[in-house]
Structure 1
Amino acid sequence: MAAPVSEDGKGLRGEACSFLPGGAAPYGNFPDYSRFHPPEWRLQLLPAALLSQLFPSPRAGPLLGLDVGCNSGELSTALYRHLLGFGKSDASHMCSVPEKDLYLLCCDIDPGLIERAKKSSPFPGAISYATLDIMDAGAREVLLSSYLSRFGRVAFDICFCMSVTMWIHLNHGDSGLVKFLSCLASQCTYLLIEPQPWKCYRAAARRLRKLGRNDFDHFRSLTISGNMAEEITQILTKGCAMELVCCFGSTSWDRSLLLFKSKEIRSLL
């Protein structure tokens, strides 16, 4: 069994999944991702009262969240606990009365990781997991519209995109990254995004070369490069009708947590 490595090239032992020999995961689907990037390292940057700050007015229904690229669900669960103020011992979202009800739809391209997430989820009533290639427009429309229709909604209140942009960029090129960001912006009121820095692109390509494989199809042709947090901010603010609300700072592995808000009015009906 191959030992997967982190995006920064650090090795870990892990369960076999849909990644190449030697631990190079072409879609970022590392089977033990949370072990080398623990959720709490991100969550310490986020205010526990974030949902109440973003949505201060009373709501007739619950808040809806979309987590794109959820891996095996550890970060999704940790985000849910953190934003609703649950301790680690709370086994159900009925253990206490949250100030804001939140339902999460979490998706990932890897069916093996999704199965693990479903089996280990402590909040099956509030967090749903589904296999989805987010770049497959047909499958995306079916899943997201079906989920939203259950609540009589046409958009999510908040979308989480944590360390996913690089994999979209490497596998779908500059145009794919722009389409991906545009898609997220059209689906939510708020977008919390954590872009990978350019050094992670080089590390991912280097791992493939060490395995004797070719670079990612688009790596050599990418023109969107350099400071990826700035590049993604430009795409979202200039082409996707969003505005940057806040940067919550950077993780210890040099990734910024950026919060954007849509300039368009999202209907609740």
Structure 2
Amino acid sequence: MAALSLRPSSPPPGAAPFGNFPNYARFHPPEERLRLLPAGLLPGLLPPDRPRLALDVGCNSGELSVALYRHLLGLRESEGSVEQSAAGTDLNLLCCDIDPVLIERAQQHSPFPASISFANLDIMDSSAREPFLSSYLGRFGRSTFDICFCMSVTMWIHLNHGDRGLREFLSFLSSLCEYLLIEPQPWKCYRAAARRLRKLGRNDFDHFRSLAIRGDMAEKITQILTNDCAMELVCCFGSTSWDRSLLLFKSNGSNPEGREPSEEEQ
């Protein structure tokens, strides 16, 4: 797939202003999330009579994406090759990230190239995301995904795009899927990210000191999704060892696609 963003990659350790850490899976292993998720989650949520479509936003180099794919389909670690297993045809997973180098690494190591696609995409660039996602969905005759994954991404959207950007991001995601599995970073992670930049002699995040949405971020994001984005909280699967909740939301079908935040929400 064509690269849609040319953001700088391979930042110094600790910098990663977009969360694009090159060795992310080493200190936040996928297994820590997967232990919280029921193995039969996907069949219980989505109809079996059509290909299931999923989107993973901020996939980094793909380790968690592939682990989620295996877990949700009940595939063993040893399964996966160019020749797909029968179970592997049940789910088509599109994974995107702002970092082209991480996406290239994910593409090179994907065990399911026929059903997991990796693309370099800035999800906050509407001029790039709209045609790209529409083209992908159109291949399946669809206009939305069955489920979206957003794992430890919201903080980076919030720090780089402010309160309005976070609301716009959540509104866009909610218009794009029936189910949303999201892992918000707690406020202490915001402070830690800002502190890392200062230690490296970098400027602070543009929006950090002006953010009005702060505090219990899982609660704040739940409020935005349920009050403003026409979603309902289905389940909290618990928290990882690094204190991040896994929250599953379901669309009630009344959120206008791509709705912009009102002036009161900005």
Deviation by residue 1:186-234 (Cα, 9 ceiling, x = unmatched): 0000000000000000000001111122210000000000000000000
CA-CA distance at 1:69 after TM superposition: 0.2
1:33 alignment partner AA: Y
CA distance in 1, matches of 2:194, 2:48: 48
Paired with 1:95 and 1:133, the residues of 2 have a C-alpha distance of: 29
Per-residue Cα deviation, 1:236-262 (whole angstroms, up to 9, x for no partner): 000001000000000000000000000
CA-CA distance at 1:58 after TM superposition: 3.5
Q: Could you tell me which residue of structure 2 aligns to residue 195 of structure 1?
A: 184
**Aligned runs of 1:117-156 on 2, under 5 Å?**
117-156=106-145
Equivalent position of 1:182 in the other structure: 171
SS in 1 for 2:87: coil
Q: Does the 8 A contact of 1:156 with 1:188 survive in 2?
A: yes
Q: Distance in 1 between matches of 2:245 and 2:200?
A: 30
Is residue 98 of structure 2 the alignment partner of residue 109 of structure 1?
yes
Could you say if the C-alpha distance between residues 159 and 19 of structure 1 is closer, same or farther in structure 2, counting changes exceeding 3 Å? Answer: same
Residue 42 of structure 2 is aligned to residue 51 of structure 1: yes
Alignment match, 1:169: 158
For 2:193 and 2:134, locate their aligned partners in 1 and report how far apart those are by CA, in whole Å.
33
Q: CA deviation at 1:96?
A: 4.2
The answer as to whether partners of 1:169 and 1:177 remain within 8 angstroms in 2 is: yes
Tell me which amino acid in the other structure corresponds to 1:176: G
Q: Distance in 2 between matches of 1:24 and 1:223?
A: 24
1:74 equivalenced with 2:63 (yes/no):
yes
In the other structure, the counterpart of 1:28 is 19
TM-score (norm 1): 0.89
The corresponding residue for 2:4 is: none
Query: What do you get for the CA RMSD once the two structures are aligned?
Result: 1.6
Deviations 1:142-183 (A, max 9, x none): 110000000000000000000000000000000000000001
C-alpha displacement at 1:97, in angstroms? 3.2
CA contact (8 A) 1:205 1:216 kept: yes
CA–CA distance in 2 between the matches of 1:149 and 1:265?
Answer: 22
Q: Is the 8 A contact 1:52 1:100 kept in 2?
A: no
Q: Which amino acid aligns with 1:245?
A: V
How many pairs were matched up? 248
Specify the code of the residue in structure 1 equivalent to 2:207.
Answer: H
Structure 1 residue identity aligned to 2:110 = S
Could you tell me how far apart the structure 2 residues matched to 1:65 and 1:128 are?
10
Show the counterpart of 1:224. 213
| Alignment pair present for 1:254 and 2:254 | no
Q: Tell me the secondary structure at the aligned position of residue 103 of structure 1.
A: strand
Confirm or deny: 8 A CA contact 2:84 2:112 kept in the other structure.
no
1:213 aligns to what SS in structure 2?
coil
Return the offset for 1:92.
3.3
What TM-score do you get using the length of structure 2 for normalisation? 0.90
Partners of 1:63 and 1:265 in 2: CA distance: 22
CA distance in 2: counterparts of 1:228 and 1:250, whole angstroms: 13
Unmatched runs of 5 consecutive residues or more in structure 2: 1-7, 256-266
Distance in 1, matches of 2:25 and 2:134, equals 29
- The whole-number CA distance in structure 2 between the counterparts of 1:80 and 1:180 is 24
Q: Deviations over 1:89-137 (max 9, x none)?
A: 0023866432980000000000000000000000000000100000000
